Amino acid sequence: MDIKNNILETIGNTPLIKLNKITKDLPATVLAKVDYFNPGNSIKDRMALKMIEVAEKEGKLKPGGTIIECTSGNTGMGLALAACVKGYKCIFTTTDKQSKEKMDILKAVGAEVIVCPTNVEPDDPRSYYSIARRLAKEIPNSFHCNQYDNLANRLAHYETTGPEIWEQTDGKITHLVCTAGTGGTVTGTAMYLKEKNPNIQIWAIDVYGSLLTKYFRTGEVDMGEVHPYISEGFGEDFVPENYDMSVIDYFEQVTDKDGAVMARRIAKEEGLFCGYSAGSCLQGLMQLKDKLKKDDLVVCIFHDHGSRYVGKIYNDQWMMERGFLDVKTFKDIVNGRPAKQKLVTVEPKHTVADAVELMRKHDIEHIPVVNGNGPIGAISESGLFQKVFSNPDIKNASVESVMEPAFPVVEFNTPIEKLRTLINKDNGAVLSKDDAGHFHIVTKYDVIQALGN
């Protein structure tokens, strides 16, 4: 029987999966090391367990102790799993830019989570680094893992990630591509692979707003490079001790938008539901495609699972609010019509028969009712249909006596996805003003046609 004694024995030995669609125009073969197959759904399970094992061996973590760590979520999950099995308590500090899903998952496995501000210096007493250090001093029998400077981090990848990739590729790997955060994954894996073959290229992917790229290129810690960024799980505003830049050959930076968009492409085109860093990792490779040759075998590290980001990069509204999606708007629908059509309207004193004739003449189903101040109601074919059955003489009634509530009025650049939520069985259209002050109408059929194009 093949039975695991506990969840920790399932860490590692994650699959290497060939990418086929996104990378089809690249000369090289591109493989993804998909580490969301770890039990905690991220590559951080490897180093979390290793840090605890080393701390136990060195006597820094004793039975009944408390594990303290600052984490973007994934390391915390790995530590929490180990704590469940080994009987430790966990307190994690994280930043307010991390997804709510990550925080909720940590709480679900028994951790206490303290949320700290993102946009403060690392040594600011409010930073998640500083609060973790303070708690470790104040709480008896506690151990601050400090994944940034704890070399057990990179040791985990030297002992597991590197050997797995080497064996899975039969030693034919030519390039390793990995996002750069704490430095443990990229450095530890690189150290092992470089020992096997010093010609293997190690490409680290960074985000704009991180200082790591400039530090790699110049050796200078330039805080002027640091500015807020949205990408999660990689990039740093200091240089962790886990880095050994001598085993890294190149750094490439990726924008927040490009990484997020690529993550969504990976899900839709490759069937791999990955996190933000996977998108950035593959985007970085695509930016470096001219450096690849026909016989190259590239391995990209896909760190974690997309479930941690369903409220962010996999949420259309979140993406649109940050300008990450090229979406169609009310304005695009209007501008896409064959000619600038004047809005057909009726006045309150017009008869129902007048409205019906306008619907027939212009082949439309919805007409706004307007007065000198703008829209005050609406007439719809479906609404009139029900009223005619109740009262056949209604055609001589005034429009204002039978009109329905006015159509919602939105901004001219409102995304189609938002219009879709406003149009329903009780409301068949939406209005908006163009820059000249003229009203236009969009119906459910306009939205359906636009989404289909």
The catalytic residue positions are: 44
CA distances from 53 to 46, 109, 149, 205, 314 (A): 11, 20, 16, 29, 35
**What is the C-alpha to C-alpha distance for residues 164 and 192, in angstroms, rounded to an integer?**
10
DSSP 179: E
Handedness of CA 275, 276, 279, 284 (dihedral sign): negative
Of 33, 318, 25, the residue nearest 193 (C-alpha): 33
Beta bridge partners of 274: 305
Question: What tokens were used for 394?
Answer: 């209604």
- Measured at the CA of 81, the angle between CA 79 and CA 83, to 5 degrees, comes to 65
SS3 of residue 369 by DSSP: strand
**What is the C-alpha to C-alpha distance for residues 318 and 268, in angstroms, rounded to an integer?**
18
**Cα 129 vs. chain centroid, distance in angstroms?**
24
Question: What tokens were used for 27?
Answer: 């000369």
Question: What tokens were used for 299?
Answer: 């391995």
CB atoms inside a 10 Å sphere around CB 121: 14
- Burial class (CB within 10 angstroms; exposed 0-12, middle 13-18, buried 19+) of 155: buried
**What is the C-alpha to C-alpha distance for residues 296 and 318, in angstroms, rounded to an integer?**
37
